[in-house]
Structure 1
């Protein structure tokens, strides 16, 4: 049975959602809604779907809603859909404030519908390549730098860019977060444009995270260090490199080209070098996460990033913003 889906918001990201939805099996893009009705009609014509003139009329015609609007509107729109027992996929961050997210999570549970949040890097081939690796990181360094683009400046860079890495770090480190240090500054917009945060976990792991939207070039990289291993992730190039110390007994059946110089000072261990690269343009992480959303609706299984997971990421992001804003207040007093 085909799942009827409606799209709210047809800006830059919204159009990408429309294109992806039309490529997914067992779905029908019933229509779209945007407060900019001229743009809405133009996009509806392009994707051969219906332009609705109100949110409520669209909700009535669908089983699920995909929401790609400015963050400040997330709570209002998602709440309306959940109250009508509609499944919802909403772009990250789930909301601007934690209390809004708490309300949506509670409502989704009460109505027994799927609430998935678009933390798309979970579906990046560079991250998917780690699924077969034994991970226990003790130090993480992440850099997410972007050139300036007015889109997204309605929120701090912590909610715009850094939140991708916060989600991944909280997912990878299986230990409670115990301490946050942070600094940042607004340079071009009225919100924080560059930020750095240091996260410390109960198991001793430390993560150093930097995000900027005023850089000269893009960079989206993460480095993970753990006992006997270094892992480098390049999100832009969709590549992952793993350097791991292994005993000679472990390498007999391995490709010799993967084995690097022997470490005589480390009891004869060898360096195993693996590189995973997938630049296939046909692999679309956004499509993958929407396919996962559809599968969750069909099976009733919770999504990879549900409302609860996204809410905890938002909680950390808001704490970082509060720390930075508190420093500014202190300096001005």
Structure 2
């Protein structure tokens, strides 16, 4: 039985708790949260011990799940790692790049499992593309959300766009050559809407737009590659592939179109979407990585690289606003 201690029982922390509490081979040791408002109802619903010392909860656990404010991530991660405990930490994994560099060093020197909570990696619409040859040369992303005061302690880059940064970096097998960015703070003290262009050395270009002041929700990614278009709807859990037909595409819906090069036949596929709970799945992967001693799905380097790009974007925006 894997004993997991939970740090943070706010909105997302309560979701984590509800999943951990019903997970096979997992025992929730207890939780730590200095906020009485956050803790309200947890004791009655889950009958868990509320720890008043972060170190005591770490020492009583085999692993910890950190869903605390980002400013607390490094301190809790460091304490757990130095005590030989496995760590799951929500994105972004640290508040600053200095903390991120130290954390990478700590993880690489320790014999522990460390997973970063980039939950969109476990979105059913994205998982449906496993096994498909993804080699995009242009990527367009829109992640729009309605305004919610919760989460505005960080910019829209670290709050929303970092999801898509991580996905793009996992797909494009090339280093970044250039980043352009613009953003505006509308409702909070940090950018609430931003547009970013990431250029890769292999020629791929990713155009990302994120907003937390939209009137409607949207989480869509479009991939354009040689002979194919791939659409991913992270919100509605839908995926479609439109490509030039090959002999292997028999049985798919096809459509003939006239082009300057003559008639082309395109095939339209909707990969099977296996409905699942992405948060539960990422926590199960973390559990299995410990119990079965296998690699985590989103490791400390993945978390570091997404955070590094996010901070480069913030620097570009800050420089642009100061000019």
Superposition TM-score, scaled by structure 1 size: 0.93
Deviates more, 1:294-303 or 1:209-218: 294-303
Aligned to 2:151: 152
Does the residue aligned with 1:130 lie in a helix, a strand or coil? coil
- Preserved CA contact (<8 Å) 2:3 2:27: yes
Deviation at 1:23, TM superposition (A): 2.4
Out of 261, 270, 284, the residue aligned to residue 265 of structure 2 is 270
Instruction: Determine if the alignment matches structure 1 residue 317 to structure 2 residue 317.
Output: no
- Write the distance in 1 (CA, Å) between the matches of 2:38 and 2:204: 47
Give the Å deviation of 1:261.
Answer: 2.3
- 1:154-207 Cα deviation digits (max 9, x unpaired): 111000000000000011000111100000010010011111110000010000
1:141 match: 140
For residues 326 and 218 of structure 1, do their structure 2 counterparts lie closer, same or farther at Cα, with a shift above 3 Å needed? Answer: same
Match of 1:301 in 2: 294
CA deviation map 1:179-237 (0-9, x unaligned) = 00000010010011111110000010000000010001111000000000001110110
Q: Is the Cα–Cα contact under 8 Å of residues 41 and 51 in structure 1 kept in the other structure?
A: no
Which residues in structure 2 correspond to 1:1-333 (within 5 Å)? 2-37=1-36, 39-40=38-39, 42-247=41-246, 249-251=247-249, 254-256=250-252, 258-261=253-256, 266=261, 269-276=264-271, 278=273, 280=275, 283-330=276-323
Work out whether residues 237 and 279 of structure 1, in 8 Å CA contact, stay in contact via their aligned partners in 2. Answer: no
Point out the more displaced range, 52-61 or 135-144.
Answer: 52-61
Answer whether contact 1:238 1:277 (CA < 8 A) is retained.
no
**DSSP 3-state at the match of 1:309:** helix
Say which is worse superposed, 163-172 or 49-58, in terms of deviation: 49-58
Distance 1:106 1:212, change over 3 A: same
Higher mean C-alpha displacement, 148-157 vs 294-303:
294-303
Could you say what secondary structure the match of 2:160 adopts? Answer: helix
Determine helix, strand or coil for the equivalent of 2:270: strand
Taking the aligned partners of 1:45 and 1:305, their CA distance within structure 2 comes to 33
Distance in 2 between the 1:266 and 1:303 partners? Answer: 47
Of 168-177 and 45-54, more deviation after overlay is shown by 45-54
In structure 2, the CA distance between the partners of 1:269 and 1:261, relative to structure 1 (3 Å rule), is closer
| Superimposed CA distance per residue, residues 26-83 of structure 1 (whole angstroms, 9 cap, x where no aligned partner) | 1111111101146426313212322112111111110000000111111111111111
Distance apart, 1:8 and its partner CA: 0.4
Q: Distance in 1 between matches of 2:269 and 2:83?
A: 49
User: How far 1:121 moved relative to its partner?
Assistant: 0.2
* Cα separation, 2, equivalents of 1:238 and 1:276: 11
Separation in structure 1 between the aligned mates of residue 83 and residue 138 of structure 2, nearest angstrom: 44
Gaps of 5+ in 2: none
In 2: Cα distance, 1:93 partner to 1:10 partner: 17
Distance across 1 between alignment mates of 2:282 and 2:84? 21
- Segments of 5+ residues of structure 1 without an aligned counterpart are none
- Asked whether the equivalents of residues 37 and 53 of structure 1 are also in contact (C-alpha less than 8 Å), the reply is no
- Equivalent-residue separation in structure 1 for 2:304 and 2:217 (angstroms): 27
- Aligned equivalents of 1:37, 1:153: Cα separation in 2: 21
Per-residue deviation, 1:112: 1.2
What do the CA deviations read for 1:256-306 (whole angstroms, capped 9, x no partner)?
5x22225575565421111136484xx110000000001111233221111
